[in-house]
Amino acid sequence: MDIIAYARRMPKAELHVHLEGSILPGTLVKLAERNHIPLPASNEAGLAELYSFKDFQHFLDTYLMITATLRTPDDYHLIAYDYGCECARQNIRYAEVIFTIQTNTTLTGLPWQEILEGLNAGREQAHREYGVCWQWVFDIVRNQPETQVEVLEIALAARDMGVVALGLGGNEDGYPPELFVDTFKIAESKGLHRVPHAGEISGPQSVWSALRLLHAERIEHGVRSIEDPSLVDYLGENSIPLDVCPTSNICLNVFPDYAHHPLRKLWESGCFLTIGSDDPPMFGTSLNHEYQVLVEEFAFTKTELEQISLNGIRASFLSPDEKQKLELQFKDEFQRLSNGGL
């Protein structure tokens, strides 16, 4: 079996993926039609053209347009189930999926409980049919700092419904971690995990602040840490995971191309990396494609692919027993694949 085929078939865990950004173009058209929401394009080919982003704000505007097609609990059931089907197709066995709950309650007028019940109905259907499972990360939107307390309160109240962490997404420029210190401090005191985005649009100082002020346990992206060698050393020495999404970074012009992307340098510097697809249809990617990129653009070996797959388990917020069990399953499947099984 060649290494690309192996990468497609190997079991994976994904820690950096947004549910709204995972809505497939065909599902987006269906949602818009049934909820009478106009889109700039009425078919999948036209939608693909919309996903050529001029800048980060253009991306955010498009993301909001997609989210606005969601209106009912059944819609949330549908997109969660679709995501689970994609997990099964790509051999993603576990994920921690980011969702902007407050944006959705505002756009729909629905209570968060109804939205989450819809999401979990889709999640449970996917688990029954395919065995895939995931937990939720509820994101604060950076450019709406006035919503942070509400998001925290929802996340804390929803822990028994699969919410495992508090996130922080959106545009880093103008909305630094300093604006969210008290909220993340409360989350930490209540035992809620913390996974802010940092070091994507803004530079290393954003990562330092997320670590020092928000006590981040993982960093979403973090790729611009490469600009500060002392930060790279700190990340490696303290095994702080960076959930890296290479294709997303290229599409949003964080780096001009894969040749300029620092993933390989970060890896060889001892940083703890996981690989994610971020918003896969919006960037024309998938987690399987990101693994292919690791091989074709960053010269990852079979052993390194296995390592980065296991990193997804080790950096997750599963319990120690759950991590151990899943890691053993993954290693067993690696061995069987290597021997020509599965």
- β-bridge pairing 163-169 and 273-275: unpaired
Side-chain half-sphere of 153: how many Cα atoms within 13 Å? Answer: 7
**Would you give the end-to-end CA distance of the chain in angstroms?**
12
CA angle 140, 143, 148 (to 5 degrees): 35
Amino acid at position 35, single letter: N
Instruction: For residues 133 and 15, give the distance between their C-alpha atoms in angstroms, rounded to a whole number.
Output: 12
- Give 87-127 as a 3 state SS string: HHHHCEEEEEEEECHHHHHHHHCCCHHHHHHHHHHHHHHHH
Side-chain half-sphere of 92: how many Cα atoms within 13 Å? Answer: 29
- Catalytic residue, candidates 86, 96, 172, 200: 200
**CA torsion through residues 8, 240, 283, 268, sign:** negative
**Cβ proximity of 209 and 177 under 8 Å:** yes
Query: What are the Cα distances from residue 72, in Å, to 19, 67, 122, 300?
Result: 16, 12, 13, 43
Structure tokens at 47: 């939608």
Judge whether 150 counts as a catalytic residue: no
Structure tokens at 333: 């499947």
**Cβ proximity of 56 and 94 under 8 Å:** no
Give the catalytic positions in this structure: 200
